[in-house]
Structure formats: C-alpha cells, structure tokens
Amino acid sequence: MPTANEADLTPLLEADGVTRRFGGVVALDAVSLAVREGEIFGLIGPNGAGKTTLFDILTGVQTADAGLCRFAGQPLPSGKPHEIVARGIARTFQNIRLFGELSVLDNVLAGLHSRMRSGLLATLVGTGGARSEAGEAQEKAMQALDEVGLADRADTQARHLSYGDQRRLEIARTLVSTPRLLALDEPAAGMNRVETDALRALIERIRGRGVTVLLIEHDMHLVMRLCDRIAVLDSGRSIALGRPDEVRHDPRVVEAYLGGGRT
C-alpha cells in the first residue's frame, strides 16, 4: 500500500490498460502505470517484454489497440508525435538518429527548426525576423550543448563524436524543446562505465531542473542507482512496480530475468 505521502504525488504520465497486438503476439496486455512529476522512472524487462512498444505508444509513434494515456491529466493524442512533443514530452530512440555529416550544433538546430515560426528556408535566406529567431535558436542550442557537456564540440561533425557523446548529443536535441518529461530509450547502450557514470550525472542534473525522466535501460547497475521507481514488464504484462530495492528482490522479477535462460 502506498503511504499517504506517496499517494499525494500527482502522476504526470499515465498508461491505463494499454494493449497492443501484432497479429497473434500480444506485445502489451492491459498495462497500467503512472510516472510521478519529478521522478526518474525506469522501465525494465527481458528482451521482447514490450518496453519499446509502450514507449512508442506514450510518445505517439504507435497507437494502442485499447487503453488510454494521459499527460498532466489530459488524454494524449494517439499516433501524433508532434502534438505530443508540443505537450511537453521529448524522447530519444534506441538507435542513434543523428546527421553524421552535420556539425554538433547543426544537429541540435535541426531539432529546433521544425518548431521555429520562420522555418528553415526563411532562416537560410536571412529575412530580418528569421535572423533574430535564428540568433535565439543558436543561443538555445548552445545552452543545451553546454548542459550535456558538448559546447566545446559544437563545430565538430557529429560522426566524429564518440558513441557516448553521440548519445549525449541526442539528449541535447531533446532539451531544446524544454520538455516537462524526457523519455530515454536505452541511453546507456554501448557506453563504457565512465560514459555511463557521466550519463547518470547528466540525467540527475536534468531532473534537478524539474524535468521528469522515463527511461528504458538494460544496464541494471545504472537503473538501480539512478531510478526512484521501476516498473518491470514481462511478456507484455507489468509484473512489478516499486523502488529499486523492492524490485530487485521481487521473486517474479528474478524469475522473469533468469527463468527460461533469458537475460
């Protein structure tokens, strides 16, 4: 049972009975969870558990067959990623999606242009309004790069960044939309321990600014140290939810990870 204090915490993002099928595969089977404002919430589970599918539905990349998602108490539009970004949810993807030939700064600006009033063409042509808007965008992009520790690499081509830095650049791209909730899909994938520790400090800094963080992650060392609460999915069902120390010792979780030789 939640304590009185815990019950008082308002959910920011809710999934309520979310179901998704692919032919005969039930990727999500009436999954419900609530991410509270200001927390770092981890979504874990063995391969194929349904984590990415849930992430995709919460961020409008896929639509649910049944169930509802709410953000700040309002139903989330289904299958409309741009509207969802406008509501204050930003996300990264499991596979890095950068423009390798563009500079680090331009990669962040590319994320901003879609939201600028003047649009990319006016900015390139250089109309007055577009110029001042472009100046603001540049400033915002540099702030985001500073926040992730990449300001000194602004002119470097993205493809020359280390893997860990590319992942941090992806986070910078999301920060320019000043999200209220940041959803990170396997942010530590492919990172070494030093990079992962830096990532953990970065995510804690972002949360320190009041941003709620939801992440999918396979790196248990990171998840257990970083997250306030964790939900565990297995075969499309939510099998456990709680603080890291509660989840770690839950027999259903141990079975999900170790049963059947899965990792």
Q: How far is the CB of 231 from ligand ATP (least distance, A)?
A: 12
Taking CB under 6 A as the binding criterion, the range among 21-29, 116-124, 171-179, 248-256 that sits at the site for ligand ATP is: 21-29
Question: Does 79 interact with ligand ATP (rule: CB under 6 A)?
Answer: no
Q: Which is nearer to ligand ATP, 90 or 233 (CB)?
A: 233
Question: Does 53 interact with ligand ATP (rule: CB under 6 A)?
Answer: yes
Taking CB under 6 A as the binding criterion, the range among 6-14, 46-54, 113-121, 128-136 that sits at the site for ligand ATP is: 46-54
Q: Which is nearer to ligand ATP, 236 or 244 (CB)?
A: 236
Distance CA 169, CA 23 (A): 36
Q: Which of 3, 5, 47, 263 binds ligand ATP (CB under 6 A)?
A: 47
Tokens of 172: 């910078």
Question: Does 58 interact with ligand ATP (rule: CB under 6 A)?
Answer: no
Question: Does 51 interact with ligand ATP (rule: CB under 6 A)?
Answer: yes
Taking CB under 6 A as the binding criterion, the range among 47-55, 79-87, 115-123, 131-139 that sits at the site for ligand ATP is: 47-55
Question: Does 22 interact with ligand ATP (rule: CB under 6 A)?
Answer: yes
Q: Which is nearer to ligand ATP, 112 or 227 (CB)?
A: 227
Site for ligand ATP in 110-129 (CB under 6 A): none
Distance CA 181, CA 113 (A): 21
Pairing verdict, β 66-71 and 74-75: antiparallel
Pairing verdict, β 229-234 and 237-242: antiparallel
Place of tokens 């879609």: 114
User: What is the pattern of x (binds ligand ATP, CB under 6 A) and - over residues 140-179?
Assistant: ----------------------------------------
Question: Does 92 interact with ligand ATP (rule: CB under 6 A)?
Answer: no
Q: Which of 33, 35, 28 lies closest to 66 in space, CA to CA?
A: 28
Name the residues that contact ligand ATP, by CB under 6 A: 22, 25, 27, 45, 47-53
